Structure 1
Amino acid sequence: MTAKLSSAPPKPARPQELTLDGKQPCDLLSRQDWPRFFIEKGGKLSHTDVLNAEQCLYNTNVGGFGFILSVAHGINYWTQADTAEKIYYTDPVEGFPALERPESWDQGRCDIIVDVADGQFLLATASTLPDAESKLPPKCVVARQLAEIAINALVNAITPTG
């Protein structure tokens, strides 16, 4: 089986390269954004062997949220994946090409995968608990919000201010 990609037009070009080398996924969400996602404590940093990438996960009483920063695989990892999961091109995130994975092994989860640089991607994930769905927007809206925050943090980290 192959990934199910929508018949959307070709992905747009990235507005710039946002290399993830040396970046930490737990640095992407500022404390100011925590209340928006019901986060009360810092994320847990770990390594995912499947993607050979660093991840940061925030567990809350409404669900789990997080980021994966892959410097070992590009977005083609998802577009050419041998999977039965549905993966769609979606609207760009802050101008960067993006995919949406609305259903994974976890029915309450949605991932937004952003093409940030050659051979690299950012994955923002939102997994909401069934009894908390009324407290948050739909899971894919939350995942997109997280992706937007992360992309802005990465852009601001390389853009001089002043």
Structure 2
Amino acid sequence: MAVLAAMSACTNAPGTPRPESASTTPPVTTTSKSARPREVKLDGRDACQLLTAAQLPALKINGIGRPVDAPALKAKGCSWTDNGASIRLVPVTIEGIDAWTSGKKTGRPTEVPPVEGFAAITVTVDSDPGVCDVLIDTADGQYLAARFSVSPSFEGDFPKPCDGARALAEAAMENLLR
């Protein structure tokens, strides 16, 4: 079973799900594909190009993104690391967010308000409260995974993980919609 994957240093993209212990949280229902304002295909997208240098300071990240593998998602992402926090973006093209909401993947999915009109969920794991993933339903069988991770001793220096992951997802979606 895969859940949110650990963040690693990368250039211009954060957040992938990683394996974790089984969750007893009941599945969340997702919004139908008709709730999407349009399809935004992620095939061939370079995760490190999903953020601009101008967006990084607002995310409290000062580093350069570096490509990373996200084997649990069978995708390539991008990760930015700063002292005490990291972010990661992963365009996932092998499954939709229903893989998380149906209980096929481990983690606690929670439906949250849409991002730029696209259905979104957060995925958290009880054993790792410093990490949050926001998954955006961009197209049939595809989603954008945005991860924000904060080390415990730096919690006061960064947004809460789910707030940071949402800001990251919003920034990336702004660019995808241009």
TM-score for both structures, normalised by structure 2: 0.78
Q: CA deviation at 1:3?
A: 5.2
For 1:149-160, what aligned pairs fall within 5 Å after superposition?
149-156=171-178
5+ long unaligned stretches in structure 1: 157-162
After superposition, the CA RMSD in angstroms is 1.9
Task: Give the conservation status (yes or no) of the 8 Å contact 1:2–1:80.
Answer: no
Q: CA deviation at 1:67?
A: 0.5
Q: Which residue of 2 aligns with 1:117?
A: 139
Q: Which residue of 2 aligns with 1:159?
A: none
Q: CA deviation at 1:130?
A: 1.2
What amino acid sits opposite 2:55 in the alignment? D
5+ long unaligned stretches in structure 2: 1-22
Give per-residue Cα distances to partners, 1:66-114, cap 9 Å, x unaligned. Answer: 1111111111111123355211111111110001113365321000000
Higher mean displacement: 113-122 or 69-78? 69-78
Identity over aligned pairs, percent: 33
Give per-residue Cα distances to partners, 1:49-82, cap 9 Å, x unaligned. Answer: 2211111111110211011111111111111233
Count of aligned pairs between the two proteins: 154
Rg: which structure is higher? 1
Q: CA deviation at 1:126?
A: 0.3
Whole-Å separation in 1 of the counterparts to 2:141 and 2:106: 23
Q: CA deviation at 1:2?
A: 6.2
Whole-Å separation in 1 of the counterparts to 2:60 and 2:87: 10
Give per-residue Cα distances to partners, 1:7-63, cap 9 Å, x unaligned. Answer: x7x526100100001211111111112222332332121222221111111111021
